[in-house]
Structure 1
């Protein structure tokens, strides 16, 4: 890769941290990381600069000086129990208005390429088994987070067309890896403790993406000429059921998987009665993606095999587990 300067937002997040770590090790690459609030520890050579947030009227002009590529990984993220009175308005402020504010200033500063980390939720929430989403499917976001990401994509496309700044959109599925939080971490804790789980009879199919694979795809898209003005989906290229995932994860931790074969219809009905339909969908339904476009346009395949990535995730959990 030729000498480049990158501005990476979201450096405090799971994806942003891993991306900055990777870029900082690449020769002749400079990395600028905006930081909000507390001082963060970045790898040597990374230039951290203060910012007040993503929302307009944040001034990015100083940070964007001499930047070749912006990788926008920061966002107001999806949460299961949203508490805002008008969630869409709050998501739009950060994910749409904030993104467009940064992109406009990037284009004005002469940034050549803008990479937007979007979400598979732009495609939709579920797929029929064997019928994965593709990068060129008609978007069908359903929740406020997915809608805000789609609206940001639309605004960025219009800006790119008007200014000539190259745009790359990447929509990851569930990201996992060493240090993962949220639901994936909860699953590891349940399995480690030997908690019986009623997920022994699930025949769905889910796509996931290891953090190392996602970062590798992003880095590929920073320079590959075929990535310009394209949309890519990100996954490991290996789909499995929730039952299979739990079994593999337990084995990676050296623990038994105590999975009870409770009928899916029964669990789904109970979850619906309890107002947990969204959580039920994430566990029981299928969500597959097709990454053949990545192979065809970028000659990219996931460099880390699923079993290896899962083993690294489990080992990190075991090494850092609180006794």
Structure 2
């Protein structure tokens, strides 16, 4: 089996590549934007992911595409029209690749989407499921939903199997973004007013997400399905901070401040969105992923956090 992996130098893509090479169960090729990248597998420089990218050479003889390349979620997007740029890259760029893949005879297209397709928050104890009505709230989530819908239509028209995976926040060695910022705060040993937060957040360890992606490459039951990814163990923000501190070998200096007071202060300071991520719940139900694929997250949250710092 020949697999083409896009986004092979990214946070998730590089881990997927490492796993595929280690398993030695398939011939793996990757695409990159720049020829300066040196990888130990056949590499095709295709430039940016765009509506006009030529994938012909990279797709020759390919049976499976794992599409991990994307314009990632950006907290403070400085583009004049972020939605248009997300649409150009994540929607039109993905369609262009998928259409060429179907034409080249690719049998399965594994698309790494985002839980942001479902939305930003869940009521406590009422997790997102794959069949929920999508409710993205930002340009990134909208672009991922539109890409999913286009891929599903293409699958109907061409017979190419499409597998969609929606991960929540992914953590692991080399993680950036909000998780990296949190790690820095814990590492500094500063007192944080987050010692009494009773929300629930679903996360997914990088190794667990990679294992699910690799499972979906050839599992018969994965064809034309949407799966949510997760560790199978939800944490409050307080529990997560304590777990990070323990994994780092640092003390967790958490001050128990009521969540309502924190939200009030955040609104006054214009930081409502930040507070919602820290104080609100976002849970995912991975029971379909487990039952249909016979899959279990191989790494516990505790071990996943430890691997962030190895």
The TM-score bracket by the shorter chain reads over 0.9
CA distance in 1, matches of 2:251, 2:299: 25
Residues 275-298 of structure 1: CA deviation (Å, up to 9, x unaligned): 322222211100000100011110
Alpha-carbon offset, residue 301 of structure 1:
0.5
SS at match of 1:7: strand
Displaced runs of 4 or more, over 4 A: none
Pairwise CA RMSD: 1.1
Q: After TM superposition, list the pairs within 5 Å mapping 1:287-306 onto structure 2.
A: 287-306=282-301
Superposed CA offset, 1:62-94 (max 9, x none): 100000100111111111112122211111000
In the alignment, the residues of structure 2 paired with residue 118 and residue 156 of structure 1 have an alpha-carbon distance, to the nearest angstrom, of: 11
- Is 1:135–1:232's contact at 8 Å kept on the other side of the alignment? yes
The CA distance in 2 between the partners of 1:279 and 1:7, in whole Å, is 37
Question: Partners in 2 of 1:182 and 1:147 — Cα distance?
Answer: 20
1:310 Cα deviation from its structure 2 partner? 1.1
Corresponding residue SS for 2:180: helix
Q: Which residue of 2 aligns with 1:16?
A: 13
Which residue in the other structure is 1:69 paired with?
A: 64
The unaligned stretches of length 5 or more in structure 1 are 317-323
C-alpha distance in 2, partners of 1:82/1:309?
30
Whole-Å separation in 1 of the counterparts to 2:76 and 2:70: 17
Task: Give ranges in structure 2 of 5+ residues lacking alignment.
Answer: none
CA distance in 2 between counterparts of 1:178 and 1:93 reads 30
Distance 1:5 1:121, change over 3 A: same
Count of residue pairs brought into register by the alignment: 310
Of the three residues 19, 23, 39, the one matched with 2:36 is 39
Three-state SS of the structure 2 residue aligned to 1:62 is helix
Residues 26-78 of structure 1: per-residue CA shift (max 9 Å, x gap)? 22411111111252232x3x111111211121110110000010011111111
Match of 1:236 among 225, 231, 235: 231
1:222-281 deviations in Å (ceiling 9; x for gaps): 000100000000000000100000011111212111111122222222323333222222
C-alpha distance in structure 2 between counterparts of 1:33 and 1:273, whole Å: 47
Question: Per-residue CA shift, 1:284-322, capped at 9, x if unaligned?
Answer: 100000100011110001011111111121x32xxxxxx
Counterpart-to-counterpart distance in 1, 2:199 and 2:147 = 30
Match of 1:115 among 110, 116, 124: 110
1:170 — aligned with what?
A: 165
TM-score, length of structure 1 as denominator length: 0.93
8 Å CA contact 2:35, 2:45 repeated in 1:
no
The alignment partner of 1:71 has SS state of strand
Provide the rounded CA distance (Å) in 2 between the counterparts of 1:121 and 1:34.
26
Closer, same or farther: CA 85–274 of 1 in aligned 2, 3 Å? farther
SS of residue matched to 1:272: helix
Structure 2 counterpart of 1:201: 196
Secondary structure, counterpart of 1:63 in structure 2: helix
> What is the TM-score when the length of structure 2 is the normalising length?
0.97
Hey, what does 1:226 align to over in structure 2?
A: 221
Q: Is the 8 A contact 1:114 1:165 kept in 2?
A: yes
